[in-house]
Amino acid sequence: MAISPYATPFSAGSLAARRSGDLFVGMRRELDELQRRLATGQRSETFGGLGLERRTSLDFRGRLAMLDGYLATVKDAQFRIGLMTDGLSRLDALAGTTKSELSPPKFDPGADGRTTVQKSVEERLKLAIDVLNTEINGRHIFAGRASDRPPVLDAKTILDGDGLRIGLRAMIPERVTADRAGDGLGHATLASASAAGVESLSISTADAARLGLKIVGLAENMTNVALPGTANAAGVTAAAGTTTAQLDFTGLPAAGEGFQIQVQLPDGTLASLSFTAVAPPGSGQPGTFVIGADAAATRTNALNAIQASITALMQGDDAKTASSIAAAREFFGQTAANPLPAGAYSQPVVQWYAGDDDLASIPNGRDTAPVRVDESTVIGTGARANEAPIRNVLANLGVLAAESFSNTGPERLRYEALADKVRRNLSPADPAERIDSMVSDLGSATAAMNAAKERHQATGAVVRDMLTRNEEASPEEVAASILALQTRLQASYQTTSILARLSIVNYL
Amino acid sequence: MSLLSALNAATSGLRVTQAGIDVVSQNVANADTAGYSRRRVAQVQQLAGERTSGVRTGEIERVIDLVAQRQLRLETSGAAYTALSARFAAEIDRLFGQPGGAGSLDGAMNEFTAALQTLASDPSSFSGRSGVLDAAGALASRIGAVAIGIQGLRTDAENRIASAVSRANELLSGIAAINSKVVASGTTAPAPGLLDERDRLINDLSGLMDVQVVPGQGGSVTLLTSSGLMLFDGSSAVKLAFDGRGMLDANALYSTDPTQRGVGTIAATTIQGASFDAVANGMFRSGEIAAALRLRDEVLPQAQRQLDELAAGLSRAISDRQVAGTAVANGFQIDLAGLKAGNAVTLDYTVGGAARRIILMPTNGGAPATIPPADAGDLNATVIPVNIAGGLTAASVFTSINAAFAAKGINLTADSPAANAWRFVAPAASGTVVTGVSAGITVDTFGSGAPQLPLFVDKGYGGTAFTGSFEGGSHLTGFAQRIAVNPAVLADRAKLVVFDPGVLQGDATRPQFILDAITKADRAFSGMTGVAGGAAFAAPVAEFARRIVEAQGAAAESAERLDQGQQVALSAIQSRFADYSGVNVDQEMAMLVQLQTAYGANARIMTAVRDMLDMLLRI
């Protein structure tokens, strides 16, 4: 678009001739432009040349960039979810294999006090940790938002500590002892009271206590014995952070009658203690108490029987393994933000999890990696290695790997008790503890992303098509234009040459 | 009645036909000469008393259509104006790049948002962070490159004015010289060649400016521009002088005040010796000079303003924390902790229902005493500079605000109800009602706990975050050339994610914030950008970038269309002029044949007369 070649001043005499010359130049230029369109496929080199379509063209390009961004995000997230699902399935498989190897448990401790299964479980623990430390492109997929570093310590440090701090192996015996308490009563408090013809006994535990037993329920079918009026449906009184099981003796129960106390072991499993009244002189069997001369004496006998039973329970394999499992849970339950209480163990405990543990602001692990797949759709694709299902697997594999047994008869029973508990724990009933709940979370995230992806692909195709129509020169159209222009140009040349020859000068 | 008188008549016929052939040959020879108009020789009968005694050559006259000529000059001015405008508009359009091309401005913006999307989905990724910084750098340099191109075009326009002015001076002195010859020829008809030459120069001049020709005494002419500037009064011409600058930048703007002026202006020295600024007086309304002036002082500065606003929007969308006031009795109060110089506090109020706006412009004392509303981005607002160097809630702040309110008759009072807070109250039932107060506070640190960060900095002012400051002049002007990615972020990419010491590397909050700030959050862009006519334009930054490209594309297209129309008008009038005044060789040849015949006939008469005289003498 130069300044018109015949601007000022011009020679009036040869204007016509020069104008046709300009027309030829113009047509040649048009031909060059068409040739450019044919070669580049673009209708215009600038936005100015697109005409009214430039707005849609600009907006579509912006939209397309967004859509491509979403699609890239979805692709990336789906790849990650694929790896995560794969990893979680492997964890589930590790748990499954362990379960099947434990039924029935084979007690064959070696020189180091560990059975074959325990040794392979330690390997599995390492494998599980490797899975949890999976990294793609520098991103640790089970670390939540702390994706720049591996979330889980290595198995050796977890089991044996790092020198300064103790590991799971050292925690277990400490916890067993601590749960038992100095008096061997598992932190339960036994008491008796007398008032106006009512002789009562009580056994109580603090609800918030970290260690020991928890009273859960009390049932009785004795004559002249009643539960206090404050007892709830489970037969216990919960008040001021303490749960108390109380029996009020107003007279003598009949022989053969009795009561049951239900307690919770440190790992959350329940144990029942049954007590039966027997006529004097009594058999001395555990779980019996002698009917005394009066209510007070009977109450005292019952109290002694309870004390003996609890002491026995706490020294039993069930309670010991429960403590072991509680220790493992405690170990894997602690985080930097939620540490063990000071002095819980003789030494500080290693912190196994180094990932994102901001449970207060992001309770759901999925939300640690939000992925925007649409204007307003945000899909959680994250996971944290300290989520309950993963912790459950780690704790149960960990306790099995950490424990050791001497090759004696009673130890076999403890091993079997542990194996039994681990086996049961690895098939948790609570959906929040199950790995497949995480997998299904991720599955629905994938499905939502697929839906978004299909939508974007469809929109993208339409937008791209519109863009093509806006911006691209169709080769057929251009070719036809070139042909038409060629014809016009040839005709003009011919006519001009004829006209030029048609001068009077030639005829003088 | 005699043979001799016949001989005389034939002789005069021969003379006249010779003169005719002379004119024909001149016409044919000059058929291609610029400015030459066809000549015609008139034959006049020679009278001896009452009798015709032969023929004589009349005046050799130019065949010229004065109406067409006037129209031609008008259209020539117009065509020169539109052609230059269209050419520059196309250049501006080209600066924004090819649709879908790698170097296009919108493409750079799209790449930036795409990189942010990637980063938001994987915030800890090193490559994702690099991608964002690369795209941000590319976008900043793209904006800068377009702005540099704009200033290059302004420099071109400046040079063009310089050459047009010197050409105009040459033409005017040429016209003066020829005109004096025309006038000197006195009562005899002036030579057509002189008139042609003078017309040619005037036509040439009309391409540079809008020239009106007024015929004067004795063939003299007077030249004026349509605005009334006397270019040539028949004896001497005005002297135009242009003090052009070598290189223009965004701060070099036209001003009627010579001390503020950063570009050249055309000084006209009149015949009487008075000198004045012809640009300030709007003396040029058409032609190349007017087009170049408009490009230099309006079109291109507006394009620069668009890019400046884009750069400022981009920078501040990411760095600014938007705060809004809360209603209190009879007014509003706003917490302005961290307010920087240039972070305008916008106070909206109504007087009798009519909306008004005050922009309180915080300064550190280095800003001009008055800030034009155009620079603050809202032509209708009252702009009050507030010196906060002594503290955000120092007594002097409110003294000066209240003094400014009183001076401008605004029925409001300002005070501070709490630390860092400003409060604006209107007297109850006064008809003045405060309707809101808001501010964008630039966050210039990285770990403040806010997702905002100074991702871009102003290279020209010590590499600090852009705040819209007026310290030492508007920082907005030319920011497009100076915007750059913050070197602190380049040095530590984690700053793109970690907005608080406790924030984890995989936290998507900040990348998502940046993305939303660019693509979703509306920002107000000044009406000075002309993107939505003269109205303020609220849109996300990414959208605004597209609207700029669109506006410039549309401007190029309409300039092109206008120019095509003008060129058609010009060529129509040229054709009309040429049809009448141009030499047509065919016509001339026909005339030649006619003259040849006449010559032969006259010669034949002479032969006959000679024969007859011979016959007489032989008797």
- Is A371 touching B (CB cutoff 8 A)? yes
Q: Which of A14, A65, A505 is the closest to B113 by Cβ?
A: A65
Task: Characterize A295-329 residue by residue with b for buried, 16 or more Cβ atoms within 10 angstroms of its Cβ, and e for exposed.
Answer: bebbbbbbbebbbebbeebbebbbbbbbbbbbbbb
Are B126 and A138 inside 8 Å of each other by CB?
A: yes
Cα(B319)–Cα(B312) distance, integer angstroms: 10
Task: Note if the bond before A341 is cis, omega within 30 degrees.
Answer: no
Q: In this structure, are strands A258-264 and B382-387 parallel, antiparallel, or unpaired? A: unpaired
Cα(B387)–Cα(B368) distance, integer angstroms: 11
Q: What is the DSSP string of B142-201?
A: HHHHHHHHHHHHHHHHHHHHHHHHHHHHHHHHHHHHHHHHHHHTTTSPPPHHHHHHHHHH
Task: Give the pLDDT of residue B586.
Answer: 86
Q: Which of B21, B32, B124 to mutate to test the interface with A (most CBs of A within 10 A)?
A: B124
Query: A-contacting residues of B 86-105, CB under 8 Å?
Result: 86-87, 89-90, 93-94, 96, 98-100
Instruction: Give tens-digit pLDDT for A127-173.
Output: 999 999 999 888 899 998 888 889 999 999 999 999 899 999 999 99
Contact partners, residue B155, CB within 8 Å, separation at least 6: B246, B247, B248
Residues A60-70, mean pLDDT to the nearest whole number: 91
Q: Which of B455, B456, B451 is nearest to B509 (CA)?
A: B451
Residue B611 parent element (H or E):
helix B585-618
- Is B586 touching A (CB cutoff 8 A)? yes
CB B289 within 8 A of CB B208: yes
Are B124 and A14 inside 8 Å of each other by CB?
A: no
3-class state of residue B468 by DSSP:
coil
How distant is the Cα of B31 from the closest Cα of chain A, in angstroms?
5
Contact partners, residue A228, CB within 8 Å, separation at least 6: A200, A237, A246, A248
Task: Give the pLDDT of residue B155.
Answer: 95
Residue A221 has pLDDT above 80, yes or no: yes
Task: Give the pLDDT of residue A2.
Answer: 35
Place of tokens 């290279």: B459
- Residue A356: pLDDT band (50, 70, 90) is confident
Are A12 and B583 inside 8 Å of each other by CB?
A: yes
- Is A16 touching B (CB cutoff 8 A)? yes
Cα(B472)–Cα(B369) distance, integer angstroms: 11
- Residue B187: pLDDT band (50, 70, 90) is low
The two three-digit tokens of residue B112, written as one number = 């930036």
Instruction: Give tens-digit pLDDT for B458-490.
Output: 998 888 999 999 988 889 999 999 999 999 999
Q: Which residues of A touch B114 (CB under 8 A)?
A: 65-66, 68-69, 72
Backbone angles phi, psi at B97, to 5 degrees: 95, 175
Cα(B435)–Cα(B358) distance, integer angstroms: 12
Task: Note if the bond before B362 is cis, omega within 30 degrees.
Answer: no
Cα(B231)–Cα(B224) distance, integer angstroms: 5
Instruction: Give tens-digit pLDDT for A33-61.
Output: 899 888 888 888 888 888 888 888 889 98
- Torsion B578-B580-B586-B592 (CA) sign: negative
How distant is the Cα of A435 from the closest Cα of chain B, in angstroms?
23
- Is B34 touching A (CB cutoff 8 A)? yes
- Is B33 touching A (CB cutoff 8 A)? yes
Residues B561-575, mean pLDDT to the nearest whole number: 92
Q: Which of A3, A47, A65 is the closest to B549 by Cβ?
A: A47
Q: Which residues of B touch A68 (CB under 8 A)?
A: 114
Task: Give the pLDDT of residue B611.
Answer: 92
CB B372 within 8 A of CB B476: no
Q: In this structure, are strands A225-226 and A242-249 parallel, antiparallel, or unpaired? A: antiparallel
Task: Give the pLDDT of residue A244.
Answer: 92
CB A371 within 8 A of CB B119: no
**Bridge partners of residue A244, in order along the sequence:** A204, A237
pTM of the model: 0.87
Are B83 and A3 inside 8 Å of each other by CB?
A: yes
Residues A243-247, mean pLDDT to the nearest whole number: 91
Q: What is the DSSP string of A376-437?
A: S-EEE---BTTSHHHHHHHHHHHHHHH----SSHHHHHHHHHHHHHHHHHTS-SSGGG-HHH
Cα(B298)–Cα(B418) distance, integer angstroms: 45
- Is B553 touching A (CB cutoff 8 A)? yes
Instruction: Name the closest residue on chain A to residue B553, using Cα atoms.
Output: A48
Weakest mean pLDDT among B184-193, B304-313, B429-438, B578-587: B184-193
- Is B126 touching A (CB cutoff 8 A)? yes
Size of interface A-B (CB pairs under 8 A): 234
Cα(A508)–Cα(B18) distance, integer angstroms: 19
Query: A-contacting residues of B 493-532, CB under 8 Å?
Result: 504-508, 512, 515, 519
CB A174 within 8 A of CB A161: no
Phi-psi region of A58 (alpha: psi -120 to 50; beta: other; left: phi over 0): alpha
Task: Give the pLDDT of residue B152.
Answer: 95
Q: In this structure, are strands A288-290 and A270-278 parallel, antiparallel, or unpaired? A: parallel
Per the prediction, chain B carries an average pLDDT of: 90
Q: Which residues of B touch A69 (CB under 8 A)?
A: 113-114, 117-118
> Alpha carbon of A402 to those of A125, A129, A158, A167: distances in Å?
11, 15, 10, 9
Residue B339 has pLDDT above 80, yes or no: yes
Instruction: Name the closest residue on chain A to residue B95, using Cα atoms.
Output: A46
Q: Which of A386, A399, A245 is nearest to A322 (CA)?
A: A399
Residue A7 has pLDDT above 70, yes or no: no
Residue with more model confidence, B384 or A229: B384
- Is B26 touching A (CB cutoff 8 A)? no
- Residue A9: pLDDT band (50, 70, 90) is low
Q: Which of A1, A6, A143 is the closest to B86 by Cβ?
A: A1
Instruction: Give tens-digit pLDDT for A89-116.
Output: 999 999 999 999 988 888 888 888 889 9
Q: Which of B36-40, B66-70, B148-152, B576-580 is most confident?
A: B148-152
How distant is the Cα of B517 from the closest Cα of chain A, in angstroms?
13
Q: Which residues of B touch A138 (CB under 8 A)?
A: 124-126
> Alpha carbon of A478 to those of A32, A54, A464: distances in Å?
11, 20, 21
CB-based burial of residue A431 (10 Å sphere; 0-12 exposed, 13-18 middle, 19+ buried)? exposed
Backbone angles phi, psi at B275, to 5 degrees: -120, 135
- Torsion B61-B65-B67-B71 (CA) sign: negative
Residues B375-396, mean pLDDT to the nearest whole number: 88
Residue A4 has pLDDT above 70, yes or no: no
Residues B282-307, mean pLDDT to the nearest whole number: 93
Q: Which of B90, B120, B507 is the closest to A48 by Cβ?
A: B90
- Residue B540: pLDDT band (50, 70, 90) is very high
How distant is the Cα of B505 from the closest Cα of chain A, in angstroms?
5
Residue A430 has pLDDT above 60, yes or no: yes
Instruction: Give tens-digit pLDDT for A297-349.
Output: 889 999 999 999 999 999 888 899 999 999 999 999 888 888 888 888 889 99
**Measured in whole angstroms, how far is the alpha carbon of residue A149 from the centre of its chain?**
17
- Is B571 touching A (CB cutoff 8 A)? yes
Residue A469 parent element (H or E):
helix A435-471
Number of Cβ atoms within 10 Å of the Cβ of B54: 19
How distant is the Cα of B37 from the closest Cα of chain A, in angstroms?
7
Residue B202 has pLDDT above 60, yes or no: yes
- Is A68 touching B (CB cutoff 8 A)? yes
The two three-digit tokens of residue A64, written as one number = 């397309």
Are A47 and B99 inside 8 Å of each other by CB?
A: yes
